[in-house]
Chains A and B, each alone.
Chain A
Amino acid sequence: MKNKLNGQSVKNLIIRNAHIVDPANKIDEVMDLHVKSHRIVKWGKDLAAEDAEILDAKKLHLLPGLVDLHVHFREPGYEHKETIESGAQAAIAGGFVACVTMPNTKPACDNAQVVKYQMERANVLNFNIFPSGTLTQGREGKKISEMAEMKDAGAVAVTDDGGWVMDSGVARRAYEYAATYGLPIMSHAEDHSISVNGVMNEGIVSSQLGLRGAPNAAEDIATARDIELVRLIKCHLHFSHVSTRGAVEMIRRAKAEGLPITAEATPHHIALTDVEFVKYDTFYKMNPPLRNEKDREAILRGLEDGTIDAIATDHAPHALEEKDRDIEVAPFGTIGLESAFGVIMTELFHGRKWKLEDIVRKMSLTPAEIIKKSNFGRLKTGEQANFILVDTEKDWVFAEEHVHSRSFNSCFYGKRLKGKVLHTFVKGYQYAL
């Protein structure tokens, strides 16, 4: 059994000598930070406070808490895979302080009741959940869902996620309706009529392994259509988990035109390619699938030139007995919250010499901006403490013991990582990891 992470209520704490990196506040230096009664009081050099506990953070970095635009917490309906509680634990273990949950629950999150339920559960658990609602009722791609009420209840975006709206006429109306209420549309761009039998990326590896593939074209066609709808409607559309070089290029051009488009990529599409499939391990079966090296390089370039704004995990827990089924019927998805920071630090900070500030932008500041949550992605005096302390040099190997999700389907087991979250502060509670 996993150890439950227990948060300690922060009453009066000074974090000493942390290297704070907060691009929104243009901070990049060693300072102290004072938290009192769950809230950030101030930061600066040599802070003093009567009776405050001291946390020596020498050699550690203090960053705004990570924000994940794409998680599946499965509640209500699939509690055997994940609950909001276990999902929050996984998030905290990975340094995430806020998550946008996907609406493919059962029932689907297509009305204000489910949105409220999810937020209340998170509230009780002292975690920040910002639900996304569906674009269409029941994610059936037919009728527009009750977005106005969902927005009032707290939904931050709308999406049918895995059920991309195939009917362009319905999509047009749903996008227009979402735009009416300023809700970003999150698009899992996939033309299902093309990807229909695909178990993995269609390419040389799928031909070698005797598995049916889903070609890049499935994502590219859907991306192209959605870009045209944005051109028509001028709605804010956010491309979820971009995986193909074609999609990156189209998004780049659309953004250059000034269309209101944002995009994210996942740690697994950043770090891995379809060759991982060689052992027929269903833990590498995700949607969109791991693509080839050219696609991976395009994602990296897209991240670096600003085409891709954010990194999101697409944390998709599934029970082992579901993943153990035949490769053709096993569900798509990998968990990602616990490994994300380590993977990104390894691949981008150490591997491609990114600055820590860039990591904060992609994993915290920009995601918060996309869902218009200005209290996140930055330090803010008077607001609840939502930040993390990280060791950028810590070597570790990702293993089951690091998983706090209810499910274990990670594609990163055995991966050597450099960089780890040591403390997560969420809503004024401190979790030592």
Chain B
Amino acid sequence: MTGAEKQILDEGGIERVLARIAHEILERNQGTSNLALIGIRTRGVFLAERLQKKLFEIENKEVPVGILDITLYRDDLSEVGPKPEVHETNIPFDLKGKAVILVDDVLFTGRTIRAALDAVIDLGRPKVIRLAVLVDRGHRELPIKADYVGKNIPTSLQDRVTIHLKETDGVDEAVISGGSKV
């Protein structure tokens, strides 16, 4: 499966992009007050934790991080077939009045984010919800747009965009692999 892979972000690239997003968040939110990060399982969680670290480095303030499992809100659950594994959601803070930054690795059709929005709203009523993604690869199927984008990458529908992170994969990189193999 590694045949037609192309790296689009390396370790340094991811690092720089996250640093930039952290700055953008702070600028837009005017500091860390009321700010909260919610990572979407699996890799969004690690990205959220990294953003938390960056924010701390800049502002010396701890922004709370929550973990969101969107499985129960997926729009394909009514299809017949074995059900996807459900993992725990853990939001250890009150969402009320918070400026929530949803964090995910790749923005594609927008369906995951739709599910995440429903899930967050079921858990409480934040003041605003914004979206931060490492990579936006286009091909949206819902009217959803990211507020903070690490890198825009034009892709074909058949392409696969995969983010590898040290926490799960041992390496930091974003790769694109051609899906249109003959």
A contacting B, Cβ–Cβ less than 8 Å = no
